[in-house]
Structure 1
Amino acid sequence: MTADRATAPSRLPRALARRVGQDVPAALTRYRVMAWIVSVLLIALVLVAVPLKYLADVTGPVSVIGTAHGWLYAIFFVTACDLALRARWSIKGSVLVLVAGTIPILSFVAERIATRKTRAGERV
């Protein structure tokens, strides 16, 4: 019994260390897909729906695209956090990537930089 107790605590950190860093390519793919979807919807919202609302008094596209973008941004947030934990991104890099997802063109740039650095094994 004492041998089991002595080895049990040492197994926990190794098991946790094995989980961190696993499945980075799959997490990166999920992140990239969500980043593109959210970015395209944000551009459609800003360049199409909002001008239609204020210039033509058509409110339908803003409510549909805005709601879709909001829900999908929540999924993007989760996938970006998942990738950040698996790839061991810095907190600063993680926050910058998440904030960049709210700025129309910058979101594409942030996705490209995050992908390049993650594939190279660097911290974002």
Structure 2
Amino acid sequence: MESALKPFRVLAYIVGAMLLVLCTAIVLRYGFDIPEPSKIVSPIHGFLYMLYLVAVMNLGMKARWSWSYMLGVMLAGTVPLLSFYIERRVTARVQEAIA
């Protein structure tokens, strides 16, 4: 489980930060008619989110999470700031299971 935890943690922070950047780019696109940033950020965030999903699946399978819990962790990458909170909760849960 420890080997799956580190990639999850890294990707949770990256996806969370990229989601904030994406939200800013969307505000620029629709609020200020500046579409270029969202054209660049959107595919990058999409790719990183897919990697996050793989990391969650990997950790979830090794930790024997229920499918509903795994789905909740996956959806945390779609709500700004939630991935940071969920990362801390998941890390604590996994470290408790290891100990």
TM-score by length of 1: 0.75
3-state SS, counterpart of residue 72 of structure 2? helix
Measure, in 1, the Cα distance between the counterparts of 2:63 and 2:83. Answer: 19
Matched, 1:31 2:29: no
Measure, in 2, the Cα distance between the counterparts of 1:28 and 1:59. Answer: 36
Shift of the alpha carbon at 1:73? 0.4
**Residue type of the alignment partner of 1:26:** S
When the two structures are aligned, how many residues end up with a matched partner? 98
Measure, in 1, the Cα distance between the counterparts of 2:41 and 2:20. Answer: 10
Shift of the alpha carbon at 1:55? 2.5
Measure, in 2, the Cα distance between the counterparts of 1:119 and 1:95. Answer: 20
- Aligned with residue 76 of structure 2, among 93, 100, 103: 100
Equivalent position of 1:9 in the other structure: none
- Aligned with residue 87 of structure 1, among 50, 56, 63: 63
Higher RCO (CA < 8 A, seq sep 6+): 2
Aligned Cα RMSD in Å? 1.2
Rg larger in structure: 1
Uncovered stretches (5+) of structure 2, i.e. residues with no partner: none
Measure, in 1, the Cα distance between the counterparts of 2:57 and 2:94. Answer: 13
**Residue type of the alignment partner of 1:110:** I
Task: Choose between structure 1 and 2: higher helix proportion.
Answer: 2
Equivalent position of 2:48 in the other structure: 72
TM-score by length of 2: 0.93
**Residue type of the alignment partner of 1:33:** V
Measure, in 2, the Cα distance between the counterparts of 1:109 and 1:117. Answer: 13
Uncovered stretches (5+) of structure 1, i.e. residues with no partner: 1-23
Measure, in 2, the Cα distance between the counterparts of 1:110 and 1:63. Answer: 28
Matched, 1:114 2:87: no
Measure, in 2, the Cα distance between the counterparts of 1:96 and 1:110. Answer: 9
